[in-house]
Amino acid sequence: MAEDEKQGEANEPEELEAAAEEQPAAEAEAPAEEQPAAEAPEVVVEGDEVLTEEQLEDVIEETPRVRPEIPGADLEVDIVREGDDVHRGESRWSEEDFEEETEAEGVEPDEFEPQPIADAAIDLAAGARYTATGKRKTAVARVILKPGTGAYEINGRTLEAFFPRSTLQRNIRQPLETVGYDTRMDVVATMHGGGVSAQAGALRHGISRALIEADPNLRSELKRRGFLTRDARVKERKKAGLKKARKRPQFSKR
C-alpha cells in the first residue's frame, strides 16, 4: 500500500509537465479573437481637400449674435393651447375631430372667432381727429386716430419697427379690427415709460379709448371684450427695513 502511494506521488510531476505542454499548444490552435478596429476620425471633403473634425472646427467660424435694439424683442411667448402636445408642438385634435365636435354641439366653427362690431358708425371726414391717453404700469401712450389706410406711426417709427414681436402687434391691432376700421384709420402715437410689453398694452388701451371718443355707442362692446380695462398692476413699493417689497434681511438670533 505504501509503495502504491509513493509511485502515485512520483507520477504527479510528470502529469503536471504534460498538462503544461498541452496548454500552450491548445492556445495556439484556438483562433485569435478579433480586436475591434480603432474608429477612424470622420472626414469631410471640401473641394479637393479632406478635412478632419479638428480641422473643420477651425474652419467654421461662429456667426456673431446680433443684439436687438429692444432687449427681448426677438423672443416669442410660449403659449400652449389646450389639446396641443407640449413636447412635439403638434395638436392632438385633427380638423375632422374638431368639425365633428362642433357639429355635435350645434356650434359653427366661425363662432369661436370674435366677430367685428357691425353697428360701428365713425365719422371719417378729412379733418377728423380722435385723441385719447392709454396707460399700463408706468407706460403712457398718447394716441391720435385719423382717417387713413391703417398705418401706425409710433414715436416716428412703424409698428413693426417699434414692436418686432408679432404677439404684441396682434394685441395692438385688436381694437380697430374689432370695430372693423383696421384699414380705414391711421394711428399716430407718442409713448414714454415702461417696457416693451407695457407700452403695447398702453397703446391698445389708448386706441380703445380713442374709439369711444369717435363713437360712444362702442363703449359697452369694447368694455365687454376687455379693451377698456385699465391694467393697474404695478411693482410693489419697497418697505422700510426690508431689502425689497417683502424680502427681509437674514435673521440672526445672536
Residue 120's pLDDT is what? 75
pLDDT band at 89 (very low <50, low <70, confident <90, very high): very low
152 inside domain: yes
Query: Strands of 185-192's sheet, edge to edge?
Result: 130-136, 139-147, 185-192, 152-154
Question: Counting runs of H as helices and runs of E as strands, what totals does the chain give?
Answer: 7, 6
Q: How confident is the model at residue 13 (pLDDT cuts 50, 70, 90)?
A: low
The answer to the question of residue 34 being in a domain is no
> What integer pLDDT is reported at residue 84 of this predicted model?
53
Who wins on pLDDT, 182 or 72?
182
CB 151 within 8 A of CB 205: no
Rounded CA-CA distance 182/145 in Å is 11
Which of 14-18, 41-45, 74-78, 191-195 reaches the highest mean pLDDT?
191-195
pLDDT exceeds 70 at position 198 = yes
Phi and psi at residue 139, to the nearest 5°: -90, 140
- Find residue 4's DSSP bridge partners: none
DSSP code for 110: G
Domain contains 181 = yes
pTM above 0.85, yes or no: no
What is the model's pLDDT at position 230? 93
What is the band of 111 on the pLDDT scale with cuts at 50, 70, 90?
very low
Cell reading at 114: 370674435
Average pLDDT over residues 147-176: 94
Tell me how far apart the alpha carbons of residues 223 and 227 are, in angstroms, rounded to a whole number: 6
Segment 9-33 shows an average pLDDT of 55
Q: 172 is written with which cell numbers?
A: 395692438
Q: pLDDT-based confidence at 43, cuts 50/70/90?
A: low
Task: Indicate the SS3 state at residue 88.
Answer: coil
C-alpha span between 254 and 249 (Å, rounded)? 14
What kind and span of H or E run contains 186? strand 185-192
* pLDDT at residue 126, rounded to an integer: 83
Average pLDDT of the segment spanning 158-174: 95
Residue type, 203: L
Work out the average pLDDT over 117-123.
75
- Please list, in sequence order, all residues whose beta carbon lies within 8 angstroms of the beta carbon of residue 85, skipping any fewer than 6 positions away: 91, 92
Given a cut of 60, whether residue 181 has pLDDT beyond it is yes
pLDDT band at 127, cuts 50/70/90? confident
Which stretch of 70-74, 128-132, 162-166, 212-216 has the lowest confidence by average pLDDT?
70-74
What pLDDT does 69 receive?
72
**pLDDT at 193 > cutoff 90:** yes
Is residue 205 a part of any domain in this protein? yes
* 162 in a structural domain: yes
> Which structural domain, as residue segments, surrounds residue 157?
130-224
pLDDT band at residue 125, thresholds of 50, 70 and 90? confident
Question: Domain tally for the chain?
Answer: 1
Four-residue CA torsion sign, 191, 195, 197, 202:
negative
- What is the CATH number for 171? 3.30.230.10
**Residue 220 host element (H or E):** helix 219-224
- Mean per-residue pLDDT over the chain, rounded: 77
Query: What's the mean pLDDT in 20-29?
Result: 54
- Residue 76: which of 204, 230, 227, 196 has the closest Cα? 196
Name the phi and psi angles at 77, rounded to 5: -75, 130
